[in-house]
Structure 1
Amino acid sequence: MNKQNLFLLLLPFLLFSCSTGKKSLQKGNYYQAITQAVERLKSKPDNEKALTVVKEGYPMAMEWSQEELDLALSSNSAFKWEQAINTMHQVNRLSELIRSTPAARKIISNPKTYTSELNMAYEKAAEERYQAGIHFIEQNTREAARTAFNHFQKADQLIPGYENVLQEMETAKEMATYKVIVEAATVQSRTYKLSSEFFYNQVFEFLNNKYPERSFVNFYSPQQAERFQIQHPDFIVQMEFFDFSVGNVVRNEKEEQLTKRIKVETKDTTRVTYTTYKAKLKTFSDKVISGGRLNYRIIDFNTDNLLRDNLIPGSFTWENRYAIFVGDEEALSDEQFALTKNKTLPLPPHQDLFIEFTRPIYERLSSDLDQFFRRYR
């Protein structure tokens, strides 16, 4: 980072630290004014403007904060005690700043600090959130349960373990969460003995990472659904591989005559001498082409409606190229010579080829499933 960019980065901090807060005070930004002035006094304790801002501005800030508290607590607005908490914390931050700055403390020897009032405000705020959660959970709908969960969670943040909020959070989470059973991907084939377990585990792991237990969409295998006694899920995801082939072998051979003339350096600079190299190169290419399609379906368990019924194609080509030659090695290019170092390889097992052609299918499927379920989380 050059000096100019560093200066631009530090400029807002420098301006703030050099300000005495006078302009902020004139605009009625009391907290900002006091903060700027006190920060200035940390580096220059005898700054007259900063001392004046603290002396004149602090009483105004305290008067303003009391008005804010009175307005908030006398109103009928929801969660007014959280507004009060924010104001009290603002006052306490100013108090801490002043008490840690000797020059400011000489002017304001006993800055206002909320302690017992703040504790009471937390109790009131937690109760507000708790009662709001009870109100919504009693509506007995999924959306209301999600709102209730958020209120209970906020109550627990204000006062951890308030009343029986943890139990209520668990109840609301259970009511709000969509439950999805992901069935194994079947493979119907008389020709191949293949397992889709690797593919299924990939999909299942993706969904559980994308939608962890704390989200409002939870995924279960059929075995997990039985263990947790989930008899009425919201959605069923079904997958089936079909119309596929694994291990179609294509072999190609190519023979060519190679000639290369190379200039030879001699002591006689008046003559140009060339050496000609010749070789016969035979190149082999073994390809194994695999491919197929996955049909995935998303079913609404309660209505039996088919919400998604899509086909995703996938393919994979395994290739091994090698070559042999007779004649002069110098006639070959570097690439051709490298092919002569390759050997004939055994064809990959059908199961490995099956896994490979499902990889692009997995990429598309995971994107589709995320697009469908993200609206519910």
Structure 2
Amino acid sequence: MNNQNLFLLLLVLFFVSCSSGKKALQKGNYYQAVAQAVDRLKSDPDNGKATTVVKEGYPMAIEWSQEELDLALSSNAAFKWERAVNIMHQVNHLSDQLRSTPATRKLIADPKTYTSELNMAYEKAAEERYQAGIHFLEQNTREAARTAFNHFLKADQFIPGYKNVLQEMETAKDMATYKVVVEAATVQSRTYKLSSEFFYNQVFEYLNNKYTERSFVNFYSPQQAERFQIKHPDFIVQMEFFDFSVGNLVRGEKEEELVNKVKVATKDTTRVTYKTYKAKLKTFSDKVISGGRLNYRIIDFNSGNLLRDQLIPGSFTWENRYAIYVGDKQALTDQQFALTQNKAIPLPPHQDLFIEFTRPIYDRLSNELDQFFRKYR
């Protein structure tokens, strides 16, 4: 943001903070007008315009709220008691502002506050949402169950534990939720003894963190599905590693003659003298190239249809470079000398290389699974 835009923003905020609420009152925005005036009087208790707005605007705000309550409760609109709760909260909030400001306590001695009326409205609003939830739950469809869950959740927010709303929420959630069994990632190989347990755990943890229990997609391992008696899941995710190789060693070496001329300082400044340093450098490179592919499938359990069948490649190259030299150290660059400090080291275990080449596979797989299931949550 440039300086000019920043100045304009600060200027707008300044005028808003200094508003007495008079313009809002003239437009019929009673609550906004009184709120602005109260805020002004907090910092400037003797402000005449703000004082007038509070005196004139507050009775209008209370009158308007009563009219809105009457209109809402006399209508046949859905969730009319929820509308009543919101209006009462607005009145109570304004009352709190007036009572917490010394200057306005003198102007409005007894601001309107809903207490018993609000408690009754909470119960009525909870009942509205509860009955709506029952109505949708009886339709016995996944989408209707999701709608029912949201109604029950709203009822519980009005009155925690209203009737048997928690039980109904659980029923609606179970009916609305897609259940996905994620099978272990198999590794078919006679050459290597490898475990993909780490990969499976990583994928499973990602999905459960991404799709929490409150979402409408839940993931289960085969063991969990058996424990919870999920005999008819919605989807099955299968994974298999194949066409892979681990630990293909490629060794290389390079020998070179090094010459480095260095200027030498002498007493005779008119002459330039150089000293020549020579060395032979032999550089070794050990590379281990690993790679393979994961085939993952998403199957609709009820129809048996194959919804997704994808191959994801991955690769990883481990490299160790080291060198030896004979001759003058001064003939080597800093980088070349650093190589001479390295040593030949044992090659990594096959399992470690397997883990490394599956990392890019995991990144792509987790993204693709999220894209697929996102529309169901």
TM-score, structure 2 as length reference: 0.96
2:109 alignment partner in structure 1: 109
Q: Quote how far apart the aligned CAs of 1:263 are.
A: 0.9
- Identity value in percent: 84
Q: Quote how far apart the aligned CAs of 1:9 are.
A: 6.0
Describe the shift of the 1:333–1:234 C-alpha distance in structure 2 as closer, same or farther (beyond 3 A). same
Q: Distance in 2 between matches of 1:92 and 1:184?
A: 56
2:268 alignment partner in structure 1: 268
2:141 alignment partner in structure 1: 141
2:163 alignment partner in structure 1: 163
Q: Distance in 1 between matches of 2:117 and 2:16?
A: 32
Which amino acid counterpart does residue 136 of structure 1 have in structure 2?
F
Q: Secondary structure at the match of 2:244?
A: strand
Which amino acid counterpart does residue 54 of structure 1 have in structure 2?
V
Q: Distance in 1 between matches of 2:103 and 2:281?
A: 91
2:191 alignment partner in structure 1: 191
Describe the shift of the 1:42–1:339 C-alpha distance in structure 2 as closer, same or farther (beyond 3 A). closer
1:300 alignment partner in structure 2: 300
Q: Distance in 2 between matches of 1:364 and 1:137?
A: 38
Per-residue deviation, residues 91-110 of structure 1 (Å, max 9, x unmatched) = 11222222233432333222
Per-residue deviation, residues 262-321 of structure 1 (Å, max 9, x unmatched) = 111111112111111111111111111111100000000000000000000011111111
Asked whether 1:317 is paired with 2:339, we answer no
Q: Quote how far apart the aligned CAs of 1:36 are.
A: 1.9
1:93 alignment partner in structure 2: 93
1:242 alignment partner in structure 2: 242
- Of 59-68 and 37-46, deviating more is 37-46
Q: Distance in 2 between matches of 1:258 and 1:17?
A: 74
Structure 2: gaps of 5 or more residues: none
2:328 alignment partner in structure 1: 328
Q: Quote how far apart the aligned CAs of 1:4 are.
A: 8.7
Asked whether 1:340 is paired with 2:340, we answer yes
Asked whether 1:77 is paired with 2:77, we answer yes
Q: Distance in 1 between matches of 2:200 and 2:102?
A: 66
Q: Distance in 2 between matches of 1:2 and 1:376?
A: 43
Matches within 5 A, 1:157-236: 157-236=157-236
Describe the shift of the 1:356–1:44 C-alpha distance in structure 2 as closer, same or farther (beyond 3 A). closer
Q: Distance in 2 between matches of 1:41 and 1:253?
A: 82
RMSD: 1.8
Asked whether 1:290 is paired with 2:290, we answer yes
Q: Quote how far apart the aligned CAs of 1:40 are.
A: 2.6
Q: Quote how far apart the aligned CAs of 1:46 are.
A: 3.2
2:125 alignment partner in structure 1: 125
Q: Secondary structure at the match of 2:131?
A: helix
Q: Secondary structure at the match of 2:126?
A: helix
2:51 alignment partner in structure 1: 51
Q: Distance in 1 between matches of 2:133 and 2:4?
A: 53
Per-residue deviation, residues 236-262 of structure 1 (Å, max 9, x unmatched) = 000001011111111111111111111
1:349 alignment partner in structure 2: 349
Q: Quote how far apart the aligned CAs of 1:53 are.
A: 1.7
- Of 261-270 and 16-25, deviating more is 16-25
Which amino acid counterpart does residue 358 of structure 2 have in structure 1?
T
Describe the shift of the 1:107–1:272 C-alpha distance in structure 2 as closer, same or farther (beyond 3 A). closer
Per-residue deviation, residues 324-368 of structure 1 (Å, max 9, x unmatched) = 111111111111111111101111111111111111110110111
TM-score, structure 1 as length reference: 0.96
- Of 192-201 and 41-50, deviating more is 41-50
Q: Quote how far apart the aligned CAs of 1:58 are.
A: 1.7
Q: Quote how far apart the aligned CAs of 1:3 are.
A: 10
Q: Quote how far apart the aligned CAs of 1:50 are.
A: 2.2
Moved over 4 A (4+): 1-13
Q: Distance in 2 between matches of 1:247 and 1:190?
A: 15
Q: Distance in 2 between matches of 1:86 and 1:172?
A: 27
Which amino acid counterpart does residue 111 of structure 2 have in structure 1?
P
Structure 1: gaps of 5 or more residues: none
Which amino acid counterpart does residue 254 of structure 2 have in structure 1?
K
Per-residue deviation, residues 186-245 of structure 1 (Å, max 9, x unmatched) = 011111111111111111111111111121111111111111111100100000010111
Q: Distance in 1 between matches of 2:46 and 2:317?
A: 79
Q: Provide the aligned length of Structure 1 versus Structure 2.
A: 377
Describe the shift of the 1:140–1:79 C-alpha distance in structure 2 as closer, same or farther (beyond 3 A). same
